[in-house]
Amino acid sequence: MTSSILIIYTGGTIGMKQDPVDLALRPFDFSQILEEVPELKKFAVRIDSYTFDPLIDSSDVEPSLWTKLAGLIRDRYDRYDGFVILHGTDTMAYSASALSFMLDGLAKPVIFTGSQLPIGMPRTDGKENLVSAVEIAAAKDADGHAMVPEVSIFFDSLLFRGNRSTKYSAEDFNAFASPDCPPLAEAGINIRYNRRVIRYPSDWSQPLTIHGDLDTRVSILKVHPGITPQVVRNILLGEETRAVIIETYGSGNALSKPWFLDIVEEAGRTKVLLNVTQCKSGTVNMDIYATGQTLKRAGVVSGYDITTEAALAKLFVLMGLHADNATVKARLEEDLFGEISK
């Protein structure tokens, strides 16, 4: 049976086309998608599109966009075999991370893609990214199940788990990296699926549940040489936050100065503190150095090898689900949707 795919167009560089008159980049009319990307007609796939109004640069993404995306997918879940979301690259890793936690019980592909050059440009990477994302979204195994029933990002021939991805380059076509998790698939002459890494549902017929109530009272403290007590106090003890991601050095270390530890201890009494390393790969391990051990004693939870993007999304969803911080802390330690290596 022919697969059916919904392309959801939110905005971003991919959907721009150069106006032949004034050469300005303008949003592209996606109702004409099949004419603009004729390669898509070669697949035996039925394609529908949904265009956001207004289209946005992804630097303007708010959690409300994630709630809207999750609702759109839930309402059309039975009608489509897969979903391709066209999104700006700047916050694509945040949005893909968020949807991975919000779409619980997902058994169909939800693939984010975009491009570094607009789809109307001769050297665009947008066509290749879009065509491959659609092919992967439509791919099924011999039992008729989706090949990649996950939230993912397709970019420059690689498919990454959404909540393991990070924007890595502002100008290269390989804009994304997933340092702690191998690609889920690779598009060469054939598309090679990495079935040892892809997560499959234990029950393919389980219903899709949306976790749409997000508690966004999170801030991020990036430690750095020269950081002052005022800055640390403002971020860690701010009344408007319920959780703080502390971006630490190396394997989860921060300064050992008494003033810093005093503030962390005070904040840890009422807030969720999550330790995420500033390193691009590798994991937090607060047992190695004395500086890490003191953070652990102050109640800071290990983020293991989670990305900051995924940490933010995980906190938003867990805090939306659980009113008590003890449960949030306990669940942060669990690998919920493949976001940490444990």
**Contact footprint for ligand ASP (CB under 6 A):** 11-13, 57-59, 88-90, 114
Coil, helix or strand at residue 335? coil
Smallest distance, ligand ASP to C-beta of residue 198, A: 26
132 versus 325: smaller Cβ distance to ligand ASP: 132
9 versus 83: smaller Cβ distance to ligand ASP: 9
DSSP secondary structure letters along 236-258: HS-TT-SEEEEEEBTTTB----H
CA dist list (Å): 251 to 140, 217, 222, 224, 278: 40, 26, 14, 15, 9
Residue 124 catalytic? no
13 versus 51: smaller Cβ distance to ligand ASP: 13
Measured at CB, which residue is nearest to ligand ASP?
88
The upper half-sphere exposure of residue 277, i.e. CA atoms within 13 Å in the direction of its Cβ, equals 20
52 versus 304: smaller Cβ distance to ligand ASP: 52
Coil, helix or strand at residue 151? strand
88 versus 109: smaller Cβ distance to ligand ASP: 88
Of 143, 141, 91, 140, the closest CA to residue 112 belongs to 91
Smallest distance, ligand ASP to C-beta of residue 57, A: 4
Smallest distance, ligand ASP to C-beta of residue 10, A: 9
Rounded distance between C-alpha atoms, residue 248 and residue 279, angstroms: 8
Smallest distance, ligand ASP to C-beta of residue 173, A: 11
CA dist list (Å): 240 to 35, 64, 223, 262, 327: 49, 19, 20, 20, 20
181 token code pair: 């998790």
58 versus 275: smaller Cβ distance to ligand ASP: 58
Give the orientation angle of helix 92-102 with respect to helix 308-321, to 10 degrees.
Answer: 30
Coil, helix or strand at residue 220? strand
Smallest distance, ligand ASP to C-beta of residue 121, A: 12
The gap from C-alpha 161 to its chain's centroid, in whole angstroms, comes to 8
Smallest distance, ligand ASP to C-beta of residue 145, A: 32
Exactly one of 10, 13, 89, 124 is catalytic; name it. 13
Tell me the catalytic residues.
Answer: 13
